[in-house]
Chains A and B, each alone.
Chain A
Amino acid sequence: MNKFIVEKGLVLPLDRANVDTDFIIPKQFLKSIKRTGFGVNLFDEHRYLDKGLPDTDNSHRPINPDFVLNQPRYKGAKVLLAKDNFGCGSSREHAPWALEDYGFRAILAPSYADIFFNNCFKNGLLPIVLDKAIISGLFTEVEANEGYELEVDLEQQTILKPDGSKIEFSVDAFRKNCLLNGLDDIGLTLEESETIRRFEENWRNSAPWYFTTTSATTI
């Protein structure tokens, strides 16, 4: 996983509540068996005027000029400014994969859907929760100032604004440590293999009915 220490970049405002993961990456792109290459289809149904298909060249598709992602001033954005309940709906990890592949490294929103929030951390993408009033203020500032950038410092848990002021944010200690060091969850959990084995043995003794199942059926 990519480390996240400090990331500075252009902010893109997506002024829409309840953005679902179908909106972030439509279902037809979920047919891929790879983890990469989803960025070009991020927000596909809003970004392009036609219907996108997997495994096709997107470079000649008609662009929706009204969609924020297509506005030249936001080209190369790394910070996504969003509204309430961002990432609701399907559990598809293709959503954070698409955001990360496009180039986003951090998301700022008042709230997220649980599964999406969790998925982001597994992919070096930092979802930050901020008060509604702060988010609303940022929307105003971003839209008023072309080239508006923010610097997100995970170690310090601060966001540096262009005027030099800072916004503090909170993050789980464990997730922070994983992101700062680019740690792999599975590797960390396997360090506890002995504990898991002991638990499993006890559980097998106290609830054996959960352990008899597939053995009775021909594989």
Chain B
Amino acid sequence: MSSKTLYDKIWETHLVSEKEDGTALIYIDRHLIHEVTSPQAFEGLRLAGRKPWRADANFATPDHNIPTTTDERKLGLEGIKDPVSKIQVRTLDDNCAEFRIFELKMTDDRQGIVHVVGPEQGATLPGMAIVCGDSHTSTHGALGALAHGIGTSEVEHVLATQCLMQKKAKNMLVRVDGQLNTGCTAKDIVLAIIGKIGTAGGTGFTIEFGGEAIQALSVEGRMTVCNMAIEAGARAGLIAVDEKTLDYIKGRPFAPSGELWEQATQSWRGLVSDADAAFDEVVVLKAEEIEPQVTWGTSPEMVAPITGNVPDPALELDPTKRGNILQALEYMGLKGGTAIKDIRLDCIFIGSCTNSRIEDLRAAAEVVKGKKVASSIEVAMVVPGSGLVKRQAEAEGLDKIFIEAGLEWREPGCSMCLAMNADQLGEGKHCASTSNRNFEGRQGFGGRTHLVSPAMAAAAAIAGHFVDVRELG
């Protein structure tokens, strides 16, 4: 038998049929649903008189639109001030009720960002094929599942057929050797990877992240890495299953238990690439060389270490790249050559499916503990990824640390990562954000996003500008 990558193995176990040109049907074990990309799919089902193929494979929760202030959330659906958002959330409730789909509603303690809630509930399991109408579905690959984002037509297709039509991607291994320096995190690893291979570097590939530094990460850290596989162009990111993966899953509500758990784990332990498996492309990074990362531009690949500078377009010889840099600097209101540490901030956002889990909040709290947010910071908010993350953080007293330092403590949701709700970055304002995209207007019309780790965002909140988290006492 020839050697296989982890991706090859999951693909093969889910292959229902394949046409001559390679177009295949892949069986989907778990379909995650949120309010933004699903209404048209449910409407399509209704118009065609179709029913979900397997209602119990679906799992829904609203996250993109919902308010994060406690006052608004207390009132449930009626608390959503924006009437258009309210309709969308209500439509999800109605569709889930009509088609008998499990939903954690916005008033449920377990509600949260779908990519935080899925793994938290054990709805994400190793070896599954998972889809969701959301590009950050790649997050779930951290548990050894083949997971990627799909469009709304595909949401409808999966609802109706339990299958996804697609061609197999190529295999890429991104290996991060060695040990990460203190103060550097999973976020810095993945930003460094994107800086190296570019936002289209992974297009057409499924990326497996491996190597000593990836193995050393917690499961939550691995989720941060896989979450941003899409920012490197790859629809899916994957990490091999190990004992940490199994420990993470054990006992979660949707995970198997008893005899079935034993059988499942026996199977899941094989979810690793064979030692001599061939990858179409291999990229290697040294963990020791990775410093805390900060994006300066309007694409996640426009990233520099905290010790570095914003690039000087005059020094870029390639005219296309120079043009891209100029365009980004103009939007960001930055001058070429500026030290990253000299970038002043107006807003701090700690949250999103990239960095809103309990470990992220602990890391941020540790930095701000006993300190005060700089007076020049206009808005600083912490938005936990789920109701359960929020409860855990409160049990540990993290909420008090944040509030005493001057950060707002919010209710769970996507919030200012994409600013579909009221949490929007002001025009021209600079935000240190633990989210995943620094595109123009992403966090609000005219807003200027700098992607960083939770610890770096917290440190920036105190200083009012970027600082090297490694230099804090």
Contacts and interface: CB of A to CB of B under 8 A. Distances in A.
B17 interface: yes
A219 B324 contact: no
A118 B88 CA distance: 25
A145 interface: no
A173 to B, nearest CB: 5
A93 B36 CA distance: 10
Interface stretch (B303-311, B354-362, B438-446, B465-473): B438-446
Contacts of B59: 214
A2 interface: no
B283 interface: no
Nearest to A174: B23
Given A22-B440, A33-B88, A189-B161, A91 B151 contact: yes
A130 to B, nearest CB: 16
B152 A115 contact: no
Interface in B293-339: 299, 320, 324, 327
Nearest to B320: A17
A67 to B, nearest CB: 13
B48 A186 contact: yes
B375 interface: no
A171 to B, nearest CB: 10
A121 to B, nearest CB: 9
A51 B428 CA distance: 13
Contacts of A115: 135, 148-151, 230, 235
B440 A91 contact: no
Nearest to A30: B36
Given A189-B161, A196-B161, A22 B263 contact: no
A59 interface: no
A57 interface: no
Interface of B: 13-14, 16-17, 19-21, 23, 25, 27, 29-30, 36-37, 39-40, 43, 48, 50, 53-54, 56-57, 59, 64-65, 82, 84-85, 87-88, 91, 100-102, 122-123, 125, 127-128, 133-135, 148-154, 156-157, 160-163, 165-167, 169, 199-200, 203-204, 230, 233, 235, 253-254, 256, 260-261, 263-264, 267, 299, 320, 324, 327, 418-420, 437, 439-442, 445-446
Interface stretch (A70-78, A99-107, A161-169, A200-208): A200-208
Contacts of A66: none
B21 A31 contact: no
Given A20-B439, A85-B203, A212 B163 contact: no
A186 B50 contact: yes
A217 B102 contact: yes
A27 B102 contact: no
Contacts of A174: 19, 21, 23
A122 B16 contact: no
Nearest to B165: A185
B316 to A, nearest CB: 14
A34 interface: yes
Contacts of B40: 33-35, 93
A196 B57 CA distance: 15
A23 B263 CA distance: 47
Interface string A184-215: 01100110110110011001000111101111
A164 B17 CA distance: 42
A41 interface: no
B134 to A, nearest CB: 6
A185 B418 contact: no
A122 B151 contact: yes
A16 B320 CA distance: 9
23 contacts: A23-B439, A26-B445, A31-B65, A31-B87, A33-B40, A34-B40, A35-B152, A54-B84, A89-B439, A90-B134, A112-B203, A115-B235, A119-B151, A172-B23, A174-B23, A195-B17, A207-B264, A209-B125, A209-B264, A210-B128, A212-B260, A217-B102, A217-B253
B135 A91 contact: yes
Which among A31, A32, A89 has the greatest number of chain B C-beta atoms within 10 A? A31
Nearest to B43: A33
A207 B235 CA distance: 25
A84 interface: yes
A89 B437 CA distance: 8
Interface in A47-90: 51, 54-55, 84-85, 88-90
A209 B122 CA distance: 12
B133 A91 contact: yes
A22 B160 contact: no
A79 B182 CA distance: 51
B229 to A, nearest CB: 11
A119 B54 CA distance: 23
Given A18-B299, A91-B133, A113-B233, A32 B203 contact: no
A28 interface: yes
B440 A93 contact: no
Q: Would you list the 7 A-B pairs with minimal beta carbon distance, nearest first?
A: A122-B153, A33-B39, A119-B151, A93-B151, A209-B264, A209-B256, A91-B149
Contacts of A113: 200, 203, 233
